[in-house]
Chains A and B, each alone.
Chain A
Amino acid sequence: MMSEAAVEEAVGAKVDSQPPVKMQGRMVCVYYGDSQALYDVNLDIRKNQVTALIGPSGCGKSTFLRCLNRMNDTIDTCQVKGSITLDGGDIYDASVDVVELRARVGMVFQKPNPFPKSIYENIAYGPRIHGLARTKSEFDEIVETSLRKAGLFEEVKDRLTSPGTGLSGGQQQRLCIARAIAVSPEVILMDEPCSALDPIATAKVEELIDELRQNFTIVIVTHSMQQAARVSQRTAMFHLGNLVEEGDTDKMFTNPDDQRTQDYITGRFG
């Protein structure tokens, strides 16, 4: 006899070979003042996968992304309805501490935004706030591993004390990724992380995203179809505040169900 859990697992494995759901949005509506930016979005973010959000600009990709770690709270006029869960718990519940949430769901922004501090302090900032390390050597270790994971360590190891703002654009963005990694989040949100970077820096960051998938769940907004195709396993297509279609990246790019997705991917609008 199989245990109940084992049965469920076996059945689940047959029906759905996908990894478990990490974050889940149900009927998410977002308003900026009186104007609605998102309409009833239902989207699952799966564990250890890269989910790409695509769509023409102004369609609400960033808005949705910022709902996932409640960065929208910083905008006074912004209101979020519906439910968003992380490991099954509603992140908009009154009992949730937004500070803890953001430690679990990190974010990398469109424009690299390192603090005007040293490279070392940029990374150590988060761990220090959350008390993740006590001694100097523990901090050193976190800084080094974070920089290594972000593929930046070799480039900056001799100048950890020089300002993070002195790095090149691509290095700054990887520094920001390292900063996000340093607090060991479970999910990393990236809002067009390569749009301010040159092709070589972009390639490095894409490579990095692919590696990070082993340890983190990643949601990336991108306006580049090729990038979505290269780095993601799942793709969600937004249009005018609606989630048009969502599915495996391979299928989305070869055989989309929706005409709008087809048009967008082939460059007919966007």
Chain B
Amino acid sequence: MIAYLFLFLIIAATIAYFIASRRAVAIAGNDARGLHSRPIYHGLNALVYTAIPAFIFILLWLLFEGSVIDMLLMSAYPGADAMTGAERDLLLSEIRQVAVGNIFREPTPEITAAVERFHSLNATANLLLGAAVVIIALAGAGLAVTSVSKRFLARHSFERSVTIFMIFASTVAILTTLGIVASLLYEAYLFFERVPVTDFLFGIRWEPQIPLREDQIAGQGAFGAIPVFVGTILISFLAMAVAVPVGILSAIYLTEYASPRFRAVVKPMLEVLAGIPTVVYGFFAVLTVAPALRQAGISIGLDVAPNSAIAAGGVMGIMLIPFISSLSDDAFAAVPQAIRDGSLAVGATKGETIRKVLLPAALPGIVGGVLLALSRAIGETMIVVMAAGLIAKMTVNPLDSVTTVTVQIVTLLIGDSEFDNPKTLAAFALGLMLFIITLFLNLIALRIVRKYRESY
């Protein structure tokens, strides 16, 4: 049904486009300049008037149709007033199941009646929707076509529509972010109703699996997030310790020293690193790097855990190299040659030029790359799940196994789908903390970039 309506709209809009632009051409006659807007704008304007209002109407209709039909169904169902919300939901879903033919048990006469009612309501709704869409589309087309005249500002009208569309497009991203934040906040609030904020923030024991029954929640300290965050910080630090020097140095080499041919080959290869799925990095970490580190550790008498922070962090660092190198590379390349020449001409060596002129000038780009990489490191899950471990340990020993916030979120949510106990809700509290931390990182990054920017 909806598909037919869209098809109708497309055809109607196309026809309106041609009618309006033809009409504009006819009105203009030989005097093309007499027309304020070129015929194509009259056509486009008619197209927008025909399709967009009807389209918006369809969307709104679909948004509300379900709940209106539910309401009508319930109001006709005997005894529905006395039901609780959950009972109503159950009943409604049963009616819908029966309506599409999924019959699990013999429906009661009330249900059969409701199903019939559901079908007739649906038919009416479809009819109404179809009629309304046709009327709106035709009205729009009619309005646009009749307003074609020499002085009609069709271009302005069309451009206004485009502007509105752009505003809409830009708000989608913002609204989505707001939606995510709101849902995070709400679920986290539910969690903090059960576990005190201070226990979460300052507790040093993270044993979320323990409290299975309501009365055990009071067991203090089981949701102390500090060990988990320590794990995240440790692994991110290790990853950055690999990625930052390697990334920046390779960017410097590629922009300042490498021959163009070498650069043309190596730069895309570096960027391939960014395209490797993190699961594959996880394999690499757990099957290759971790055993190798363990072996190396044994040979020099160090005890390396089979799941070690250093294996996960190191491999994550490799993964992050392209983020840093490619943004730093762009930043270096954007520094004008004239500034390099200026430095060389006072007798600076290439190295001095790079350290004292290029690095400061490219700093904003580099910081941008580093923070992007850091956000990735903090948010990375797969490599850590596979290579670093699941048990929250309060340690900063890179050879030990640790866990991270993201890993905990995954393990908390796997298998469970009921969001009414602290174990699953804890995932949202962790998520909220992670969100706040990355937000702060971004703010700091902006600060740094603005403060140290050496603009040229």
B-binding residues in A (CB < 8 A): 69, 71, 74, 99-103, 106-107, 109, 111, 113-117, 125-126, 129-130, 163, 165, 176, 179-180, 182-183
The reply to whether B348 and A129 form a contact with Cβ atoms under 8 Å apart is yes
How many B residues face the partner with a CB closer than 8 A?
21
20 A/B residue pairs, CB under 8 Å, sorted by A: A74-B340, A102-B346, A106-B346, A107-B341, A113-B341, A115-B343, A115-B454, A116-B455, A116-B456, A117-B360, A117-B454, A125-B343, A125-B346, A126-B346, A129-B346, A129-B347, A129-B348, A180-B346, A183-B346, A183-B347
With contacts A109-B338, A116-B360, A125-B356 taken as known, whether A99 is within 8 angstroms of B347 at the C-beta atoms is yes
With contacts A163-B454, A163-B455 taken as known, whether A113 is within 8 angstroms of B338 at the C-beta atoms is yes
Q: Bound complex: CA of A101 vs CA of B454, how far in Å?
A: 29
Q: Bound complex: CA of A114 vs CA of B346, how far in Å?
A: 12
* Residues of B353-406 whose CB lies within 8 A of A: 356-357, 360-361
The reply to whether A179 and B456 form a contact with Cβ atoms under 8 Å apart is no
B172 within 8 A of A: no
The reply to whether A99 and B349 form a contact with Cβ atoms under 8 Å apart is yes
One of B338, B357, B360 near A111 (C-beta < 8 A): B338
B342 within 8 A of A: yes
Chain B 311-342, CB within 8 Å of chain A: the 1/0 string? 00000000000000000000000001011111
One of B339, B341, B345, B348 near A116 (C-beta < 8 A): B339
B8 to chain A, nearest CB (A): 59
B199 to chain A, nearest CB (A): 49
One of B342, B349, B356, B360 near A179 (C-beta < 8 A): B342
A128 to chain B, nearest CB (A): 8
Q: Bound complex: CA of A69 vs CA of B357, how far in Å?
A: 20
The reply to whether A107 and B345 form a contact with Cβ atoms under 8 Å apart is yes
Residues of B within 8 A of A183 (CB): 346-347
The reply to whether B345 and A102 form a contact with Cβ atoms under 8 Å apart is yes
B62 within 8 A of A: no
Q: Bound complex: CA of A102 vs CA of B346, how far in Å?
A: 6
Residues of A within 8 A of B342 (CB): 109, 113-115, 176, 179
With contacts A71-B341, A113-B338, A113-B339 taken as known, whether A100 is within 8 angstroms of B455 at the C-beta atoms is no
A114 to chain B, nearest CB (A): 7
Residues of B within 8 A of A101 (CB): 347
Identify the closest chain A residue to B353 (Cβ): A129
Q: Bound complex: CA of A100 vs CA of B349, how far in Å?
A: 10
Residues of B within 8 A of A99 (CB): 347-349
Q: Bound complex: CA of A84 vs CA of B357, how far in Å?
A: 30
The reply to whether A179 and B346 form a contact with Cβ atoms under 8 Å apart is yes
Besides the contacts A107-B345, A116-B456, A125-B356, what 14 more A-B pairs have beta carbons closer than 8 Å?
A: A74-B341, A74-B344, A101-B347, A102-B345, A106-B345, A111-B338, A114-B342, A115-B342, A115-B343, A115-B357, A115-B361, A117-B360, A126-B348, A179-B346
Identify the closest chain A residue to B352 (Cβ): A129
Residues of A within 8 A of B347 (CB): 99-103, 126, 129-130, 183
Identify the closest chain A residue to B356 (Cβ): A125
Residues of A within 8 A of B341 (CB): 71, 74, 107, 109, 113
Q: Bound complex: CA of A236 vs CA of B401, how far in Å?
A: 75
Identify the closest chain B residue to A126 (Cβ): B346
Q: Bound complex: CA of A179 vs CA of B352, how far in Å?
A: 16
Residues of A within 8 A of B349 (CB): 99
Q: Bound complex: CA of A182 vs CA of B361, how far in Å?
A: 22
B292 to chain A, nearest CB (A): 41
The reply to whether B345 and A180 form a contact with Cβ atoms under 8 Å apart is yes
User: In this complex, which of B338, B339, B348, B352 has the most chain A Cβ atoms within 10 angstroms of its Cβ?
Assistant: B348
